[in-house]
């Protein structure tokens, strides 16, 4: 391997690593706030990529039907609850939020052929179609069992993951898609070629990470989420409901997931079930950070990206094995250096 | 000590008359809580009026914290709870009660340890902020006036504060919600005598703002000095109640709670 190849692989690694870092941050966030290990994260990556691909191909994205269906299901659950607790005045807003807005999005898609729109608008539309799925999934699957143990939440998380893969096959079909590169610019630095795509992914990830930092450090809602992660009882006593915090963290995680999907879609072909493996690599990064530390999780994820890139050169058949084997020394190191804490029941 | 008692006694009749006319903030009738196997509350009746400090004293394990948890909607309870003239439904939620101006300063303080004093206070106003109020900075200035120590520590992480400062922060955070009913669970717990004195001075001061205060304390002497009315809770039942000056001179209270064995009583003076 000469320097040029090393640099090329390094670029690849950092590009993927930046995306894994985003996913790792989302996993840490969701776990800290809701104690859910967010396995379905990867599905939202795939949904984001596939939705953008269908928009660009001029097709109506299957996400729309999924959104209408899930929205209707949430509306039914909420209306049943409102009837039971005699809060009729909540019904119009429930319908508007869960059925009205998805219908409006559908109307927009029918009215304007999305393939003709500029890329940025397509990306925003794709995010608007995918992101509401997160809080809906939280409402249906996790809110009713918010007080359950981590293990029960994990089992439900796996069930949601399997369900979303099935729905992905149903709504997007078995074919994979790949979107055209956002840019074909490239820069020459000495001997090495720096691809514009790499720069774009890294910059976009960095911008999102900085935006998240500001959200958590500077806004009262961000602080409320951190407070819930730190002290659930204390947060409830301030009127920060676990439901609100849960929905908000799922919304953010889905946004991060779908955005990662948008970023990765020109790099690899994405199928309905490709998200799982991508999400798992973010998970390895999150594990390095002990599912608690944001910076360590992000660094771990970049390391995963680099490891993957270099091992695909030396031992491409074993690249996944090498990446996931990394978890064993990390777990050993963590179990030796951190005090074991029993889960509070 | 005697001077203070005499003063309380002379004010007592007028305080009693006033008590009858002020609007009732919280009216609890026949409240029972079954919670675990050890602690339970049986048929509690309790009333708090506006601008009044009501204390619940009693030994460890009598159910004082359980009472507050039930009132705050953290535990399910049977019986009738009328808050601000409205009968509360069976599905009381903490978040909903916070919105209606009820706050609890828990025994464990429950601060956000890895956040600054300022952020802890800010989150105290979270529900008001969510409801569209944007006066959190003014409220914070008022809180800093009440607790100048917190102003000095505003950048410091809550987890690094001393015990007394933590209690002040917990109370300040509760005040950020501009409560109508402030419930304090053992504010003197684990604090040095001088700090206890300071905390109780502030509690007495807060009364002037018109907030109703429910003060749960093991430190009966200090509690009865600031309170207008008191209840003695023993093994989950109210064994005695009355204006605090009367309770303070009741031989049963003196023997069990104010005698020489009274915990921290002298220290609070």
Nearest residue in B to A232, CA atom = B110
| φ, ψ for residue B208, nearest 5 deg | -65, -25
pLDDT above 80: residue B266 = no
* Residues B116 and B168 grouped into a single domain: yes
Does a structural domain hold residue A162?
yes
Does a structural domain hold residue A186?
no
How far B245 CA sits from the closest chain A CA (Å)? Answer: 32
Which chain B residues contact residue A231 at CB under 8 A? 110-113
Closest CA to B126 of A237, A216, A239, A242: A239
Tokens of B90: 């069976």
Does a structural domain hold residue A322?
yes
Specify the number of domains making up chain A: 1
Bridge pairing between strands A192-195 and A186-189: antiparallel
Domain edge (last residue) among B150, B177, B204: B177
Does a structural domain hold residue A343?
no
* Residues B156 and B250 grouped into a single domain: no
| CATH assignment of the domain containing A39 | 1.10.3470
- The predicted-structure confidence for B123-152, as pLDDT tens digits, reads as follows 999 999 999 999 999 999 999 999 999 999
A315/B165 Cα distance (integer angstroms): 59
Mean pLDDT of B37-41: 69
pLDDT above 50: residue B262 = no
- The predicted-structure confidence for A264-311, as pLDDT tens digits, reads as follows 999 889 999 999 999 999 999 999 888 888 999 999 999 999 999 999
Burial class of residue A89 in the structure, from the number of CB atoms within 10 Å of its CB (0-12 exposed, 13-18 middle, 19+ buried): exposed
A150/B128 Cα distance (integer angstroms): 32
In the stretch 28-67 of chain B, residues with CB closer than 8 A to chain A read none
B227/B184 Cα distance (integer angstroms): 12
Lowest average pLDDT, out of A191-205, A274-288, B199-213, B219-233, goes to A191-205
Residue B20: the pLDDT is 66
Does a structural domain hold residue B145?
yes
Domain edge (last residue) among B125, B143, B177: B177
pLDDT above 70: residue A159 = yes
* Residues B97 and B185 grouped into a single domain: yes
The pLDDT > 70 percentage for chain A reads 98
B117/A205 Cα distance (integer angstroms): 31
Reading phi first (left if > 0) and then psi (alpha if -120 to 50, else beta), residue A239 is in left
Residue B183 near chain A (CB below 8 Å): no
Does a structural domain hold residue A345?
no
- Say if residues A102 and A90 touch (Cβ distance below 8 Å): no
Closest CA to A126 of A103, A109, A101: A109
* Residues B267 and B184 grouped into a single domain: yes
Q: How many CB pairs under 8 A join A and B?
A: 66
A49/A56 Cα distance (integer angstroms): 11
Does a structural domain hold residue A344?
no
pLDDT band at B36 (very low <50, low <70, confident <90, very high): low
Which chain B residues contact residue A81 at CB under 8 A? none
* Residues B60 and B186 grouped into a single domain: yes
Does a structural domain hold residue A342?
no
Residue A66 lies in domain: 3-181+195-337
Residue A230 near chain B (CB below 8 Å): yes
Composition of chain A by helix, strand, coil, percent to 5 = 75, 5, 20
* Cβ count within 10 A of residue A236: 23
pLDDT above 70: residue A100 = yes
| CATH assignment of the domain containing B255 | 3.40.50.300
Check residues B48 and B18 and name the one with the higher pLDDT. B48
Helix (H, G, I), strand (E, B) or coil at A199: helix
pLDDT above 50: residue A103 = yes
Does a structural domain hold residue B8?
no
* Residues B183 and B166 grouped into a single domain: no
Sequence-ordered list of residues with C-beta below 8 angstroms from that of A171, at least 6 positions apart, any chain: A62, A63, A65, A66
Specify the number of domains making up chain B: 2
Tokens of B8: 């309380």
Composition of chain B by helix, strand, coil, percent to 5 = 45, 25, 30
Does a structural domain hold residue B46?
no
- Say if residues A315 and A54 touch (Cβ distance below 8 Å): no
pLDDT above 60: residue B15 = no
* Residues B97 and B187 grouped into a single domain: yes
- Say if residues B118 and B154 touch (Cβ distance below 8 Å): yes
Residue B201 lies in domain: 52-76+93-101+179-269
């Amino acid at each position: 391997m000469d320097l040029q190849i090393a640099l090329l692989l390094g670029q690849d690694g950092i590009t993927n690593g930046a995306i894994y870092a985003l996913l790792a941050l989302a996993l840490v966030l969701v776990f800290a706030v809701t104690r859910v290990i967010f396995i379905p994260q990867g599905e939202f990556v795939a949904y984001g990529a596939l939705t953008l691909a269908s928009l660009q191909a001029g097709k109506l994205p299957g996400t729309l039907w999924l959104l209408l269906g899930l929205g209707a299901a949430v509306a039914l659950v909420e209306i049943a609850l409102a009837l039971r607790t005699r809060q009729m005045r909540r019904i119009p807003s429930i319908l508007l939020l869960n059925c009205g807005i998805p219908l409006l999005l559908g109307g927009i898609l029918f009215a304007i052929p999305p393939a003709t729109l500029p890329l940025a608008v397509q990306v925003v539309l794709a995010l608007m179609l995918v992101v509401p799925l997160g809080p809906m999934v939280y409402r249906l699957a996790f809110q009713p069992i918010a007080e359950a143990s981590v293990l029960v939440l994990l089992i439900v998380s796996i069930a949601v993951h399997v369900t979303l893969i099935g729905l992905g096959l149903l709504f997007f079909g078995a074919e994979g898609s790949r979107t055209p590169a956002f840019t074909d610019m490239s820069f020459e630095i000495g001997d090495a070629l720096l691809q514009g795509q790499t720069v774009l992914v890294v910059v976009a990830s960095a911008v999102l990470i900085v935006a998240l930092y500001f959200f958590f450090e500077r806004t009262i809602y961000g602080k409320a989420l951190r407070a819930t992660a730190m002290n659930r009882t204390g947060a409830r006593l301030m009127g920060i409901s676990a439901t609100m915090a849960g929905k908000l963290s799922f919304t953010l995680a889905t946004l991060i997931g779908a955005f990662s999907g948008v970023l990765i879609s020109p790099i690899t072909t994405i199928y309905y079930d490709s998200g799982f493996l991508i999400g798992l690599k973010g998970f390895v990064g999150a594990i390095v950070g002990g599912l608690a530390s944001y910076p360590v999780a992000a660094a771990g994820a970049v390391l995963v990206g680099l490891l993957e890139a270099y091992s695909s050169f030396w031992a491409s058949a074993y690249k996944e094995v090498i990446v996931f084997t990394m978890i064993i020394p990390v777990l050993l190191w963590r179990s030796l250096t951190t005090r074991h804490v029993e889960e509070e029941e | 000590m005697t001077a203070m008692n005499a003063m309380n006694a002379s004010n007592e009749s007028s305080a009693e008359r006033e008590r009858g006319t002020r609007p009732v903030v919280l009216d609890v009738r026949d409240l029972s809580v079954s919670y675990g196997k050890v602690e339970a509350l049986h048929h509690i009746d309790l009333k708090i009026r506006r601008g009044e400090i009501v204390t619940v004293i009693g030994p460890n394990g009598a159910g004082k914290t359980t009472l507050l948890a039930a009132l705050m909607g953290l535990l399910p309870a049977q019986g009738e709870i009328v808050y601000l003239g409205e009968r509360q439904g069976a599905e009381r939620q903490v978040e909903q009660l916070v919105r209606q101006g009820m706050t609890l300063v828990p025994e464990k303080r429950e601060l956000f340890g890895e956040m600054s004093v300022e952020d802890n206070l800010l989150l105290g106003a979270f529900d008001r902020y969510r409801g569209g109020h944007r006066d959190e900075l003014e409220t914070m200035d008022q809180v800093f006036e009440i607790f100048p120590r917190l102003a000095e520590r505003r950048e410091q992480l809550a987890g690094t504060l001393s015990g007394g400062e933590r209690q002040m922060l917990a109370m300040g955070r509760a005040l950020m919600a501009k409560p109508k009913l402030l419930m304090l669970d053992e504010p003197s717990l684990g604090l040095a005598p001088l700090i206890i004195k300071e905390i109780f001075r502030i509690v007495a001061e807060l009364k002037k703002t018109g907030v109703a205060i429910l003060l749960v304390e093991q430190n009966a002497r200090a509690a009865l000095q600031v309170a207008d009315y008191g209840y003695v809770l023993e093994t989950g039942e109210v064994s005695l109640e009355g204006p605090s000056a009367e309770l303070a001179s009741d031989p049963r209270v003196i023997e069990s709670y104010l005698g020489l064995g009274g915990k921290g009583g002298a220290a609070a003076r």
